[in-house]
Structure 1
Amino acid sequence: MIPNYTINSTDSERMHLLAQLDLDYSAIQTTFSNITELAAKISGCRISLLNFIDQNTQWSVASYGMDIHQTSRQDTICKFTLEGEKYDFEVLDLSDHSHFNNLQFIRSNPELKYYYGIPFYFDKRVALGTLCVMDNVSKPLSDEKKNLLKLVVKEIEERLLLLFNVSDLEEQLTQVERKKTKLAHDIRGPLGGIISLSEVVKSEGLKNSPEEMLEYFDAIHHSSSTMIELATDILTKNIKNGSTSKDKRLFDLYTLKEKVNQLYAPAALAKSIEFEVEVNDLNSEKKFPKTKLLQILGNLVSNSIKFTPAFGRIKVNLAITAKEHANLLRISIEDSGIGMDTMQIASIGRGESSSNLGTGSEHGFGLGLNFVRELIDQLNGEFHIDSDLGVGTTIKISIPFT
């Protein structure tokens, strides 16, 4: 039985959890690379995919037997696996069901018939995606094979939890290094003053101070010099060695451009939309935290693709404004889509959700822009929409960083 597919509160929970995990889908492939091959071998099916599913896209971070990286959520079978009442979901002949028989990979090569999918969870909280196996021959799996695949899903969940714990540990190490560097900076000034004072006392003390006081200040001088050397050593090690964990969590503008192109240019190309990511070279070498940026940009770009017609245009501009006490990462997404009227913009400003069909009949999920605002607020950033109905939309965001 095919479950009724509806958008519900679970989608909002999934979006927030994915934002918390802050996954870079293009960078975690090696973590799960052998999982899909194992699933295919166990099931005897030609194709196996491991997918994360957000509000617009199914991201296949690992695949076997099929070279695929992303699919529009509405064109997937796995969305039913997430929403079904059962733990797993099986379709013996996809071509027999109206939900699926119009999908391209069922109507044409590889002409899939059989599907079996299992959702995976993060910390038993909410399903984030699926492990699925597919074949062009209808071949129901035995209970033994299904149970083995469920064990594979447990491995996925354990790796995902490990991935999160490692990322969390890296963040903690980064915070420790920041505190260490700040401590080293903080103690240099006062101790430098102590050394200067002790030198003055030493030079004057031969005439005016007892020998015991000279010995006391000599000890202060020695101790302070040692602490200065220690602080310098800490700073030097930070400069020479850097922070591996910190570097992993930093982007520059060209790294961000590469990620955006890698993740979203294929979807624009599939809809015959001209897609361009432009970098302002001024301050482009500055590093900034990547935290939540891919979720923010992903939602905004996906939204633009959804509401821009074929042969339209989307331009993303990335820039950094350097200021005395903080820098600003500035991002604008401009499209030639259907645009919004003042009432729609006001509705977004009030945090109200709405769901609309895209220009290619894509389903809307009523979460995107409001969710983006939440993420930007968490980063102390600003969010602005400028749109004309029938002309297009420009969204500008700015996020401070040090």
Structure 2
Amino acid sequence: MLKAPIPSNEQQRLWELYNYEIMDTPPEEEFDEIVKLASQICNVPISLISLVETSRQWFKAKVGIEASETAREISFCGHAIASNEEIFEVGDASQDYRFFDNPFVTNEPNVRFYAGVPLINKNGIKLGTLCVINSVPQHLTDDQSFALKVLARQVIKLLDLRLNNKALTAQKIRLKQQAEMQNRIISIIAHDVRSPVASLKQIVEFNNNNILSDVEAKELMQVAEVHLDGTLDLLSDLLEWGRLQINAHNCEYKQIDLYKMIEEKFQRLYAGSSIKQNKLVNLVDKDLVICTDPNALRFIIRNLLSNANKFTEKGIITIYAQREKDKVLISISDTGVGMDEKTSNRLFDGGGKRSTLGTHKEKGSGLGLLFTKDFIDMLGGTITIKSTKSKGTTFYIELKA
């Protein structure tokens, strides 16, 4: 038996196949109808839409067979996608040196005749085949060959349509999320930007009218300064979020040395962490490189580290990362005040207009965490939280590598 060869463009081929997000999905009537029609046109008992993965061929639609997948190395379809033929046809597998001792030939379903049309997408990539199978020797007529090619093109059109519909749905969800985010931003700005500015204006007016003593004016100005620091941080977050939103469809993906980026963020946080006697620990592998938008990732890391420092005193803030296949898992942990389950569950839903005060009574809007979630969504990642009151909090981030 000759094992199915591996195409020279296998890595790209698999990437395109996975991009359709079709593997292991439930049966769909449109695909089922195509294999039934192919079986009838070619007068065979078995017809399949077979998608060839790393080590298996999986059947999106099938007629005349119970199995949902088989090993790739013994598959006829593996040969079909590696060939340059428009239709890969085997008239009698028992007489073919490539297949005569193949278990599909010597055992059920006792394959003799096989004809497979490669499913070629718009980028010229062969994802699998539309194939027909019989247990007796056979050859396709010209009309059957033509019909099988037409049906194979229809399979690709269905796959593309399915992908486009999914993209449109994702876009609608994204637009809805952005609208909700904008409403939350307006609500937060109405309070967290206007209030300190209005207070400062009132202090200035009191001072100009000699209503305040020097001591009172000094004390109020110190309070206003703290409020304005929080407002400047909020405005910085707003500007960064707005800039990245404008470029959301043009994310600049680059190779990033994650350990080095964390060290840079630690340097910027050093003064604030020293005041609160917090220890910063970077456990990221020095050789870990990921491909993502550097500006978005910097924003995410900066906000989560600042948040950890805000709620921690005389504690430890640790960041760790590891690669798992095509993903990178990042965790940012602190030994701070923590939070109850109700609070952690609502942390990213904008459920509260005001955030909790930090260990030094630092104020915030909570907007930084909302933006952080938005950026992670934009990068196709996820973020989850594990927190225990009085023991600390850990944020878990999963990003595509």
TM-score (norm 2): 0.48
TM-score (norm 1): 0.48
Greater Rg, structure 1 or structure 2? 2
